[in-house]
Amino acid sequence: MYPKLFESLEAGKTPTISRAVNGRATERNAFRRGDAVTFTLRVPRALGARAVVLRLAEDGKDPSDLPLDFSGFDRGQDLYTLTLDTAALVPPEGGLLRYEFLFLRGERTLFTNSTDNLHFTLSDRNANRFRMLVYRAGFRTPEWFRGGTMYHIFVDRFFRAKNCGKLHTGRLEADWEHGIPQFAEKPGDPLANDLFFGGNLGGITEKLDYLAGLGVTVLYLSPIFDSVSNHRYDTGDYEKVDALLGGDEAFAKLVAAAHARGMRVILDGVFNHTGDDSRYFNRRGTYPDVGAYQSQSSPYAGWFSFRSFPDDYESWWGIPILPRLNQQNPACRAYFTGKDGICARWIRAGADGWRLDVADELCDDFLNELRASVKKAGKSRATDPLILGEVWENAADKISYGALRPYLWGGQLDGVMNYPFRNAVLALLLHGDSAFFRSVLTELYVSYPPAVCDCLMNLLGTHDTARILTVLGDPSEGDGRSNAELSVLRLSPAARRKALRLLQIGALLQFTVYGVPSVYYGDEVGLEGYHDPFCRMPYPWKRPDRALRAFYQALGALRAARPALRGSFRFLDSPDASVCYERKKGADRLLVAANLGKKAVHFRIPPHYRNVLLSTGKAPTLSPSNLILPPKSAVVLG
């Protein structure tokens, strides 16, 4: 499944490595604190190495050199071993280690290098090191999330129930089917976002049967708290569900109806900043509270950072309508993460977890306390709430504001939004880059704790990206066009047909790799749209692509039926521009293959795969131990 860690520049002199944790072979580089990790190196005697040393260091600290023990000779190879007690390597809260191997040969030392195709380098410089993450001994993630299917709803654009709440600001767009979201003249220009389509929580409740038919088990809602904008990322009051959405009562009804169907509800936690029109900042005097903008004696004054009171203050990305919260302020932090804080309060009110907006801007103290309060609040409902973070890169060694972030050490997040997966899928679908797809998924799988791999939010699109169908049909994403042009631009019939074929392959991969697929509302019926705000078009209830929807329903049914999709993952050999992997749990096993090339490809597969469970494009040819897959197609075998 995994590439060799070492490839010698000298033929016949290639060392190989194997790892075991507590005596069982593993390919992972993420271990529970207290695990015993054994490295075994097989070093060809022709290499001329007289000793092997492991150079190991906590991230950012000075390294230690640990010699490996010579443990035997086998078929021209010297065997070296070393066992590490991870409890002795990092403190109880976990940590990140970097390591490399040094091969002593005469007067020269060969350093391993984790870049440059993992080749040896003959160098006396510091080589790039491999990563080893050690997480807390008691770290667990919610069982109920694993193997599920998530549905991401931008609430204002999903469905407007007749009992629509009262519009307290802005304008209401009457034409749901053909209305265009409000847009600025140029991308990045300020926008009021005060044009509402009126989607509400009652509308989601009305459509729960539809969502159940897709196999949805988790609803992830865009922000629902009081706000003056349609996206509600500029929160006005964290203690109230927006009246236009139906208020607290509508939330309670949605949660009860969802739970009755076995669905969970995840809320969007925007805790890095508020709106300037909020009870906490109150720049416009909308709220009765004395806000931080109004008086330096305000109880919220320390919640924000002013360079020059009142008009020069820190804000998110310099956007003045989004004043940034000062989480180092104890009162501010306690408001969100305390025993009776916002995060715990809404868990007790029925929410099943949080997706944390811009998690890399939330300080470690805030995240640590948030996890403790949310998990404790969950116990009052006999549930284990989920905590997902918005992190766009590999979260195992994410650097934010110059510091390594311990997101996955067991004291902060259960999982993250898997944007690297999206990047890998697009490279495969648009360019046939199967090597990049395998590399990205392998990198995440070996560097994240297993429980985190099960809880990754695997996405193809979100409210922050162009619609996946649009990207597949127009990879330029409308570059160079004005917002006015993009507001009405749609794919040509030919481009749309091509995009639909590719989307089916992408969705099949999304639903069958490790982690949890997240369907952005409307993707399952072919909704198009370029960058924000055009990726936030209303759901086309009267104009769905029924064939695509049926395919997503089949994917949801497959996830519900097959335990293998909650089990192990490994790549099998595959030709260029194609991928093949296997999922197994107990006696249940599945094989997934995709061919993005221009010609049919042949796969040698294990002989027990006899049935085509789901496929895209032209039908594959299946015989014992052999699979022939037509171009631009994918298949699931059982």
Q: What are the residue numbers of the active site?
A: 357, 390
Integer Cα distance of 354 and 371 in angstroms: 10
State residue 150 phi and psi, 5-degree precision.
Answer: -100, 145
Pair 413, 389: CB distance under 8 Å: yes
Q: How many CB atoms lie within 10 A of CB 606?
A: 12
410, two tokens:
């067991």
Pair 337, 373: CB distance under 8 Å: yes
Sheet holding 588-595, edge to edge: 568-571, 578-585, 588-595, 633-637, 612-616
Integer Cα distance of 420 and 422 in angstroms: 5
HSE of 277 in the Cβ direction (CA atoms, 13 Å)? Answer: 12
State residue 89 phi and psi, 5-degree precision.
Answer: -95, -30
Question: Residue 381: which residues within 8 A CB-CB, separation 6 or more?
Answer: 347, 348, 350
- CA dihedral for 571, 574, 576, 578, sign (positive or negative): negative
Question: Residue 38: which residues within 8 A CB-CB, separation 6 or more?
Answer: 19, 20, 21, 23, 81, 82, 83, 84
Integer Cα distance of 280 and 270 in angstroms: 14
DSSP 257-324: HHHHTT-EEEEEE--SB--SSSTTT-TT--SSS--TTT-TTSTTGGGB-EEETTTEE-BGGG-TTSBB
Integer Cα distance of 131 and 121 in angstroms: 18
CA nearest to 408, candidates 438, 443, 367, 369? 367
CA nearest to 161, candidates 196, 204, 194? 204
DSSP 560-587: HH-GGGGSEEEE----TTEEEEEEEETT
How far from chain centre, in Å, is Cα 60?
26
Beta bridge partners, 622, equal: 627
How far from chain centre, in Å, is Cα 387?
12
- The pairing of strands 264-269 and 353-356 is parallel
115, two tokens:
């870049």
